Chain A
Amino acid sequence: DSGVTQTPKHLITATGQRVTLRCSPRSGDLSVYWYQQSLDQGLQFLIHYYNGEERAKGNILERFSAQQFPDLHSELNLSSLELGDSALYFCASSGPRRAGANVLTFGAGSRLTVL
Chain B
Amino acid sequence: AQSVTQLGSHVSVSEGALVLLRCNYSSSVPPYLFWYVQYPNQGLQLLLKYTTGATLVKGINGFEAEFKKSETSFHLTKPSAHMSDAAEYFCAVITASGGSYIPTFGRGTSLIVHP
Does B98 touch A at the CB level, under 8 Å? yes
- Which residues of chain B are near A43, meaning CB under 8 Å? 90, 105, 108
Chain B proximity mask over A43-71: 1 for CB below 8 Å, otherwise 0: 10100101000011010000000000000
How many contacting A-B pairs (Cβ < 8 A)? 63
Report the interface size for chain B: residues with CB under 8 A from the other chain.
26
Q: Which residue of B lies closest to A57 (CB)?
A: B97
B-side binding surface: helix, strand, loop or mixed? Answer: strand
Among the stretches A13-21, A73-81, A104-112, the one at the interface with B is: A104-112
B23-76 interface (Cβ within 8 A of A):
32, 34, 36, 41-46, 49, 51
B75 to chain A, nearest CB (A): 19
- Which residues of chain A are near B97, meaning CB under 8 Å? 55-56
- Provided the pairs A55-B100, A56-B97, A56-B102 are in contact, do residues A100 and B32 lie with their beta carbons within 8 angstroms? yes
Does B107 touch A at the CB level, under 8 Å? yes
Report the Cα distance A91→B103, complex, angstroms: 13
- Which residues of chain B are near A2, meaning CB under 8 Å? 43, 45
Chain A proximity mask over B78-115: 1 for CB below 8 Å, otherwise 0: 00000000000010001011111111111110000000
B21 to chain A, nearest CB (A): 15
Judge whether A101 and B49 touch: CB under 8 Å.
Answer: yes
Judge whether A4 and B106 touch: CB under 8 Å.
Answer: no
Judge whether B34 and A103 touch: CB under 8 Å.
Answer: yes
Does A99 touch B at the CB level, under 8 Å? yes
Judge whether A50 and B44 touch: CB under 8 Å.
Answer: no
Judge whether A58 and B102 touch: CB under 8 Å.
Answer: yes
Judge whether B98 and A56 touch: CB under 8 Å.
Answer: yes
Q: Which residue of A lies closest to B106 (CB)?
A: A42
> Of the candidates B45, B99, B102, B108, which one forms a contact with A45 in the assembled complex, judged by CB atoms under 8 Å apart?
B102
A-contacting residues of B (Cβ < 8 Å)?
32, 34, 36, 41-46, 49, 51, 90, 94, 96-108
B-contacting residues of A (Cβ < 8 Å)?
2, 4, 33, 35, 42-43, 45, 48, 50, 55-56, 58, 90, 92, 98-104, 106-109
Closest 4 CB pairs of A and B: A106-B43, A56-B100, A55-B100, A43-B105
